[in-house]
Structure 1
Amino acid sequence: MSRDRVVDLEHKLPKLQADRKRRARKRFLLYLSVLLLLIGTAVYLQSSLSDVRTIHVNGAEFTTSDEIEAASGIERGMKMWGLDLEEHTEAILSHETIEGAAIRRTWPSTVRIDVEEYSTAAYAADGSSYKPVLSSGNIVDADKAPGDAPVLHGFEEGEMLTDLAAEIGRMQTSVQYAISDIIHDPVENDPERLTLYMNDGNIVSTTVSSFADRMEPYPAVAGQLDSGEEGIIHMRINPYFESFAELEDEEDVMEGEESGGGIVDENPDDASVEEPEEEPSEDSPEESVDNGEAADANEMD
């Protein structure tokens, strides 16, 4: 019995030794791999291999890649592992044309910046050129052919333009595309009054305040007009239509009132002019002498 066990051990011993060597070799390779990985990582982090070498910018139309790179603060030569992505993203968002941004590393040495610019709300007419007006209210210094957005006339960068751009951004797409031109047409009691020329030929009068809400019912209002009837649609709290014929009648009445305001002599030639009466003048000394001589001659007769 014991002899059989000795024989079995003699047969199994070489196999056990081989398994032990195989496990030792695997353990050694594992430790070596970890060591080499640590050494390689240390060398990579400390060498120029970890420097930012390439910066890719995607999604920019009005802003150049150089402008976005400068806004981000990321420069070639900076360490990939040392980038504060959140801080650099916030820096990009401070640019006036950028609404959204995301930065990601692509190892070993590439940085990708994806941006989303503010949408184009309108185009500002500047002579024969047109500059995009973003939904943020900023005018981009670029000459672009007007697309599916209204053309603005008489506006400057400021609070009113910012409000109008935001209102246009809130409008229904169908209503926005129906507008051809928006003219700043202020009056004393409404400095934000607007005159709109629509693509369907209608003229609309409204104001900047709550512009999107005021224009929302426009398709329904325009659809109720008689075909060929021309006039102005007042898109106020209660929209109403005023035909050009009514406007002409009002102007005629106003002109008549102005012309009848004073009394006009229709026949000025019939008026007689009284000549002033001559005042009696005292006799001159010569006439007195002549009269005295005549009296003496009569007495002698």
Structure 2
Amino acid sequence: MPFVLLFVSKKAVSELKKGKVVVLEERVPKLKQRRRQKVNRRLTAYIVFFFMLILCIIYFQSPLSNVRHIDVKGNQHVSVQQIVQASGLTNRTSFWRVKTDQVKQAIESLPEIKEVTVKKQFPNTIVLYIKERTRVAYIEEKQLFFPILDNGKILTKNKPKVALSDAPILVNWKDGEKIQEIAGQLAHLPSYILNAISEIHHTPTKYDPYHVTVYMNDGFEVSATVPNFAEKMRLYPEIVKQLNPDVKGVIHLEVSNYFKAYKGDDNEKSKGE
């Protein structure tokens, strides 16, 4: 039998003695164990993914994915029912199929709605943030009050039987063009001045077909004209500060600005811009 000589260096022998060299037979079980663990992890990942896919399919095909809550915020005059009905959303609408642009456009078709923001909140809530158009006045006809919006549009539906205190009442206004003009002027007034006005009477004169007589909530009367109504009425708070609150009268704001007390109220008259 032939002999095979195996030459081992002194360095290798030294490392074997020190335990630095790992014998291949010792590593094989560990490699098999690691490979088995890797396969198990991959199999577990596939199983989890499969079940997640099944759950997603069940969710999207079941009523669980439908809209359950519709929250309407910011509306004052338009009811929640009207807004939801205009949106086209129901509890049969899929949450994931809601197109916010279409919902926004549908609600903004209502005459009193100026702007809408649509937010989707997972898992099944739709929030509608409403910004209504300002009611700048009311027109009384046959004991009914027709609201006028800041764009000049007169609402003929859902008219209240009692005028609200958020806008003045227009009296003796027959010409639609003049109504549009006064509505445009009122739309440029800040709310604190608009709310201070009780009634606006159309009182045309021989020289001014746009003349108006305004009755304020504080008891004063204002004589003005439509073309510069908003500009002049902005001066009203400063003018009233200079007057005696116990002496009522007419504040003239046509060309020059001055105050004339009613007869019997000391006949006071003051002038000033």
State the TM-score, normalized to the length of structure 1: 0.64
Q: Deviations over 1:167-210 (max 9, x none)?
A: 33422444334323222223454343221112343211112223
Letter in 1 for 2:226: V
The answer to whether the 8 Å contact 2:165/2:195 transfers is no
Q: Percentage identity across aligned positions? A: 31
Structure 2 counterpart of 1:98: 113
Q: How does 1:150-165 map to 2 (within 5 A)?
A: 150-155=168-173, 158-165=176-183
Distance 2:77 2:119 in 1: 22
Q: Which has the higher helix share?
A: 1
Please give the secondary structure, in 2, of the residue aligned with 1:28: helix
Query: 2:84 is matched with which residue: 60, 69, 72?
Result: 69
Distance 1:28 1:144 in 2: 73
Distance 2:196 2:81 in 1: 37
Please give the secondary structure, in 2, of the residue aligned with 1:86: helix
Letter in 1 for 2:172: G
Query: 2:34 is matched with which residue: 10, 16, 19?
Result: 19
Q: Is residue 131 of structure 2 the alignment partner of residue 116 of structure 1?
A: yes
Structure 1 counterpart of 2:221: 203
Please give the secondary structure, in 2, of the residue aligned with 1:212: helix
Which sits farther off after the overlay, 9-18 or 96-105? 9-18
* Post-superposition offset of 1:94: 1.3
Distance 1:208 1:18 in 2: 92
* Post-superposition offset of 1:86: 0.4
State the TM-score, normalized to the length of structure 2: 0.70
Q: How does 1:1-301 map to 2 (within 5 A)?
A: 1=12, 4=19, 7=22, 9-125=24-140, 133-137=148-152, 138-139=154-155, 141-143=159-161, 146-147=164-165, 149-155=167-173, 158-187=176-205, 189-225=207-243, 231-242=249-260
Distance 1:173 1:85 in 2: 31
Larger radius of gyration: 1
Quick one: structure 1 residues 119 and 5, their matched pair in 2 at CA, closer, same or farther if it must change by over 3 Å? same
Which sits farther off after the overlay, 205-214 or 46-55? 46-55
List 4+ stretches of structure 1 deviating above 6 A.
Answer: none
Which sits farther off after the overlay, 72-81 or 8-17? 8-17
Please give the secondary structure, in 2, of the residue aligned with 1:55: strand
Gaps of at least 5 residues in structure 2 are 1-11, 264-273
Letter in 2 for 1:72: S
Q: Deviations over 1:148-170 (max 9, x none)?
A: 54343334795544443443342
Please give the secondary structure, in 1, of the residue aligned with 2:119: strand
* Post-superposition offset of 1:128: 6.6
* Post-superposition offset of 1:99: 1.4
Distance 1:30 1:225 in 2: 83
Give aligned pairs, total. 245
User: Over aligned residues, Cα RMSD in angstroms?
Assistant: 3.5
Letter in 2 for 1:217: L
Distance 2:32 2:207 in 1: 102
Distance 1:210 1:25 in 2: 83
